[in-house]
Copies of this chain bind each other. A is one copy, B any other.
Amino acid sequence: MSDHHGNVAPLGVFDSGLGGLTVVHALRELLPQENLIYLGDTARVPYGTRSADTVVKYARGCARILVERGVKALVIACNTVSAVAIEVLRAELDLPVIGVVEPGAEAAVVAMARLAQTEPGPLGCVGVLGTAGTIASGAYSRAVSKINTRLEVVGQPAPLLVPLVEEGWLDGQVPELAVRRYVGPLIERGARVVVLGCTHYPLLRPVIERVAEDIAGRTVPIIDGAAATALAVSQLMRSDHIEPNGAGIRATLDLLVTDLPASFASVAQRFLAESLPSVAQIDI
């Protein structure tokens, strides 16, 4: 079904807040013709510190809003929701659901395989930084072992990194010390790559990269799931025969939040490298 311009249904993307805009950015790069609706649940952010039951409840609410707006597929642009609620949403919803954990895990496995070709001897394991909820779920371990049963995953909750990003405190001594506190144990436990298991962390990527290299004494590949997720969405659209939007259409980007649209718009500018459309507030 499309209108006379060839406009079909949009992709729906949601996150607990604004971190998921890194995924929107990657989707806009890879699939520029697709209409997108993004929902950030800013009235209940953060999800990463909450119980799995509460995250599932909140995720259902977000999904319902996007489904009511007729999206053709659902992209969970939040690691915590992808880690604890994706199976429930897949079971309950009658549309394709894709999260950020599986693509991120796949990218990590690929990076490890690349390292194995150049480095002799035992390679070490995959390190994951994430929220308390994501790490406690073990979702990255499960996703990695579905691809390669021999690869081990070590996880480290990094609760201070989200507040640092939201405060805009992205360089200097405090982010450096906080990152060191979290990345140190990962490297000591043998991590050879570090997955940014939260959509806020890419903004701290330079610090994480530098600290990891400093502790490990060699380059440590940093895995950002956003680009991998966009690629997975594109693959899913082909494999599930989801109708793409008409080529050459100027795609729309609708931004919805549950609280504070103005401050969302100002911080979102940091995440999206394009001028922002207006942000609407909805009730949840």
Contacts and interface: CB of A to CB of B under 8 A. Distances in A.
Nearest to A177: B174
B163 A259 contact: no
A166 B162 CA distance: 13
A148 interface: no
A163 B167 CA distance: 11
A175 to B, nearest CB: 10
A260 interface: yes
A259 B50 contact: yes
Contacts of A252: none
Contacts of A174: 160, 174, 177-178, 181
A161 to B, nearest CB: 9
A44 interface: yes
A54 B43 contact: yes
Contact of A160 (B49, B50, B169): B169
Interface in A197-238: none
A164 interface: yes
A159 interface: yes
A259 B159 contact: no
A118 interface: no
Interface in A42-62: 42-45, 49-51, 53-54
Contacts of A181: 174
Interface of A: 42-45, 49-51, 53-54, 159-160, 162-164, 166-167, 169, 173-174, 177-178, 181, 258-260
Given A160-B164, A163-B163, 9 more contacts: A43-B44, A43-B54, A49-B166, A51-B259, A159-B167, A160-B163, A173-B173, A174-B181, A177-B177
